Amino acid sequence: MNNILAILVLCFSTPVFSNFNFYKDLSLQPLDPVVMSGEITKQIFSSKTWPTTVEISERNYVLNYSLNEDLTNYIKKQLRRYGTDYTSVVVLDNNTGKVLSAIDYARKGRVFGKNLTFSSTNPAASIFKVITAAELIENTKVDDKSLFTYSGKSSTLYKYQLKDRKNRWSRSIPFAKAFARSNNVVFGKAAIKNTNVQGLTYMANRFGFNKDLPQLLDVGGSKLFQHYDSYSLAEMASGFNRETTISPFHGAVIASIVANDGVLIKPSVINSVTDQENDRVVWKSSYNIDRVLSKDTASKMQTMMELTVKKGTARGAFRPWKTKRIKNITIGGKTGSITGGVPYGKRDWFVSYAKPKNSDDAGISICIMIVNVNKWYIKSTVLAKDIIQYYYLKHHKKQG
């Protein structure tokens, strides 16, 4: 008996148990992680706000979020100002994986929420070109300088355009420029010649498709368009379909992987869960990383996403005179547009990252998804530019 007591005294005198409280800690009931995740998810998404407490098995737990109130209030102000039919905004800290803001807005009723932000009911459109480009550069002979020819409009995808024929109307374009200008034909042809559905699916899964991305929350995964003939491969690779669906939350994660030199940091919106009665933390977010791309591939992806902002489909919002106050910030992104999804309308996507030049700071990633039903109110790129400027001119400076 004396030996047992001696062992217990030795154990609980070590640093691991230095803060152990017998009354509090031994009274805690163990929580099944699956039950905890399910209950917290259900109670968060059945509430119009982010609840600070939840009840699980007749016990109350306090939720501590990573959300930044000042940044979110600024975004709310912008959403009220422009009054789009539906808008979803996600801001992610690339250094930690913490969600700084996750909010959506509906013009009808002028209400804010979060369900659309985490809902994978939105056709990804050309955002999927990020995954296709990553697959081609990482696993085939294609790189950002590879030349491709195409005929017809770059925004269409007819079967005749995918045939390997040259005529007097054929044009050549580097792969990086095709990415920046969102050329469907080049991406379709590049995929048919160099990869297959299995290759794209594997890379998409690496980027978080078919997975629960946020820590603790069970929100479901983004879905892939999967048909196996060559034209379907082109549709999948270019994003020219309505069956590949993602959430705005996932859109921000995709941008963060590129910004982080090819590393996925498991994102979290909840920092910790605390048992209210015993004032003890029962769950805490972790720093969990996974390499998705090589650094070399990620570097080429950054070049293409930054070209999109400088000379591609996002250039209108980011002309030098419009961003001179944040000239020391590097911005990269990818646009997308398609009609469909739930809620129905024309989606205007922009996934992007913004980080200080010549710094180890990986910055932030932003996803904007605007759904326009009858008319346009503001471009997703313009709203993203406003948020980036606010973050670096006011919020980030104040934090520093």
pLDDT in tens, 221-241: 999 988 888 999 999 999 999
pLDDT in tens, 40-75: 999 999 998 999 999 998 999 999 999 999 999 999
Amino acid identity of residue 281, one-letter, is V
CA 20 to CA 12: how far, in whole Å?
A: 8
pLDDT the model gives residue 227: 82
Burial of 43 (0-12, 13-18, 19+ CB in 10 A): middle
Residue 13's alpha-carbon distances to 8, 21, 135, 280, in angstroms, are 8, 12, 53, 20
Q: How many residues does the chain have?
A: 400
CA 196 to CA 189: how far, in whole Å?
A: 11
Q: Percent of the chain beyond pLDDT 90? A: 82
pLDDT in tens, 155-193: 999 999 999 887 777 899 999 999 999 999 999 999 999
Amino acid identity of residue 369, one-letter, is M
Q: Are strands 99-106 and 86-93 parallel, antiparallel or unpaired?
A: antiparallel
pLDDT the model gives residue 396: 66
Q: Fill in the DSSP letter of residue 28.
A: P
| pLDDT greater than 70 at residue 25 | no
pLDDT the model gives residue 312: 97
Q: Fill in the DSSP letter of residue 355.
A: E
Picking from 117-126, 167-176, 257-266, which range would have the lowest pLDDT averaged per residue?
Answer: 167-176
pLDDT the model gives residue 226: 81
CA 83 to CA 258: how far, in whole Å?
A: 31
pLDDT in tens, 310-368: 999 999 999 998 999 999 999 999 999 999 999 999 999 999 999 999 999 999 999 99
Chain center to CA of 37: 21
CA 92 to CA 136: how far, in whole Å?
A: 26
pLDDT the model gives residue 304: 98
pLDDT the model gives residue 397: 61
Residue 28: which pLDDT band, with cuts at 50, 70 and 90? low
pLDDT in tens, 209-225: 999 899 999 998 999 98
DSSP per residue, 262-303: TEEE--BSEEEEEETTTTEEEEE----EEE-S-HHHHHHHHH
Cα three-residue angle 384-388-394, rounded to 5 degrees = 140
Angle at which helices 197-206 and 230-238 cross, to 10°? 30
pLDDT the model gives residue 375: 84
| pLDDT greater than 60 at residue 258 | yes
Q: Percent of the chain beyond pLDDT 70? A: 91
In the three-class reduction of DSSP (H, G, I as helix; E, B as strand; rest coil), residue 12 is classed as helix
| pLDDT greater than 50 at residue 14 | no
Q: Which two tokens stand for residue 182?
A: 């969102």
Amino acid identity of residue 256, one-letter, is S
Look at 250 and 28; give whichever has higher pLDDT.
250
Chain center to CA of 260: 13
CA 105 to CA 110: how far, in whole Å?
A: 7
CATH of domain 69-399: 3.40.710.10
Q: What element of type H or E holds 330?
A: strand 329-340
CA 10 to CA 400: how far, in whole Å?
A: 44
Contacts of 81 (CB under 8 A, 6+ apart): none
CA 204 to CA 199: how far, in whole Å?
A: 9
CA 264 to CA 261: how far, in whole Å?
A: 9
pLDDT the model gives residue 7: 45
pLDDT in tens, 194-203: 999 999 999 9
DSSP per residue, 295-326: HHHHHHHHHHHHHHHHHSTTGGGG-GGGSGGG
